Structure 1
């Protein structure tokens, strides 16, 4: 049986700049909690990304829909250990998510005209109105990370576009950040995005055939609030405590997040995780 957790908070820097919360986080599972999804998305903070918070929310919903649409094939592939087919279907999830997201943000824009304030802001940035499709999707620009753990098959996978981190907590309680998801070109304000023209090809993915204690995805706002040594300890603390009292752990995390942003990155913070129910030694 799996235990899930998700939380987010507005960054202290966003509060000072009068910017909204632009991260989104969610978890979902099947009725028996034999498999679960954890997802986070980080809307871009630049001035032109005026609807990136909504873009992040839409990204999470599109990813869930895309994973649901391919999950049966992946379950079959995993059972047969068909790596080539698994990778083909993970790429398909990335493509479907990207296309669904662009279609959804354009639909949202068509149903929600620019406000006076939004129009004035775009004009102040010398952005020509009316907007073309590519310019519309830019308003909603966001990263996305999604992780899935199928406990009864001992299989996990994660997809990612943009920055942030995925952490896999092994059975020996070591924490691994899958190398396949890393992109050395990202950081210092540079990121790939769902709003990029080549977004379907900018996704990375990783997967593993193994029993794990947990898997978590987080925005860069959370990851950048820790040094490389302390982030695993933070995740292991959640991993241990959530088995003892999941509700208390979830509440404590949400209470801690604003303090973490203030003492750390100053950015919005989001985290979503899947953990196995087990005995703590």
Structure 2
């Protein structure tokens, strides 16, 4: 099983006009265009408000933290043991251990950015109670960021999300699915963040087993996975219109008359310009997209 990987991140049109940095980041492991599992793709969206004035750094540290923790996790024999009977238990285990470790790792990295004399608390401690900010939590706030992760293993996909953004995959005949449903509790520009007290509580996790046949057309496994920061979906008038993007990208890849690799190259060559145009005509926000193409 091999996958093709494509990533792009662009400065939003409104940020370009106001001379604000791109506050999104992404990271891939291994950093190869075509690779077998395990594969980790992480995206992060730094918050754009005035109090989040270091969120461009926060988002970079977020994807670094995720890659480091999950690289170790993918070495665990536990992954090979995931099955239909224990998958819910595994979701909980990942949330309670892996996500907690990501938060801890991010906090350590943020602490390394601060001047020692400015630190008035223990960055390594984790506030387990929600909505009770400490002095350290206030120091974390400027780095506030979301996190989206897809992990591809030989037997399953692991999807992890904190805050807004979208993870979509295509299965069957143009069937778009969300491994993690949209959070209806998040309205307008509200989002969960790594800088929140008890941030680990807000992660959502879903493992999906590969090799399960679709009864409609006998297909199995996602053919295309897309992760994107919210600047992308916010550029469309409806979820339905946004989800059509995945179908359109799939056609460019899989229906290219010159073959699959030519389709992938077409997207790599044009994705940034497409995203810039989308931001200009849509949300005006930074947009980051990760595509994982099933080459089997």
User: TM-score category by the smaller chain?
Assistant: 0.7 to 0.9
- Work out which of the residue numbers 92, 95, 99 in structure 1 matches 2:100: 95
Structure 1 contact 70–89 (Cα < 8 Å) conserved? no
The range that moved more, 263-272 or 80-89, is: 80-89
- The equivalent residue for 1:183 is 183
Structure 1 contact 77–85 (Cα < 8 Å) conserved? no
TM-score (norm: length of structure 2): 0.80
- Work out which of the residue numbers 237, 245, 248 in structure 2 matches 1:237: 248
Q: Which runs of no fewer than 5 residues in structure 1 stay unpaired?
A: 114-130
- The equivalent residue for 1:266 is 284
Structure 2 contact 225–292 (Cα < 8 Å) conserved? yes
Structure 2 contact 87–207 (Cα < 8 Å) conserved? no
- The equivalent residue for 1:216 is 226
- The equivalent residue for 1:27 is 28
State the Cα distance separating 1:232 from its structure 2 match. 2.1
Q: Secondary structure at the match of 1:65?
A: helix
- The equivalent residue for 1:4 is 5
Q: Which has the higher helix share?
A: 1
Structure 2 contact 12–276 (Cα < 8 Å) conserved? yes
Matched residues, number: 258
CA RMSD of aligned residues (A): 2.3
- The equivalent residue for 2:136 is 133
State the Cα distance separating 1:97 from its structure 2 match. 0.7
Q: Which runs of no fewer than 5 residues in structure 2 stay unpaired?
A: 119-133, 211-220, 254-259
Q: Secondary structure at the match of 1:229?
A: helix
Structure 2 contact 103–199 (Cα < 8 Å) conserved? yes
Asked if 1:198 corresponds to 2:198, the answer is yes
State the Cα distance separating 1:183 from its structure 2 match. 1.3
Asked if 1:149 corresponds to 2:133, the answer is no
Structure 2 CA distance for aligned equivalents of residues 111 and 64 of structure 1: 26
- The equivalent residue for 2:115 is 110
- The equivalent residue for 1:63 is 66
Task: Check 1:80–1:184 CA distance in 2 against 1; reply closer, same or farther (3 A cut).
Answer: closer
Structure 1 contact 181–206 (Cα < 8 Å) conserved? no
- Work out which of the residue numbers 75, 83, 88 in structure 1 matches 2:87: 83
- The equivalent residue for 2:127 is none
Structure 2 contact 162–193 (Cα < 8 Å) conserved? yes
Structure 1 contact 30–36 (Cα < 8 Å) conserved? no
TM-score (norm: length of structure 1): 0.84
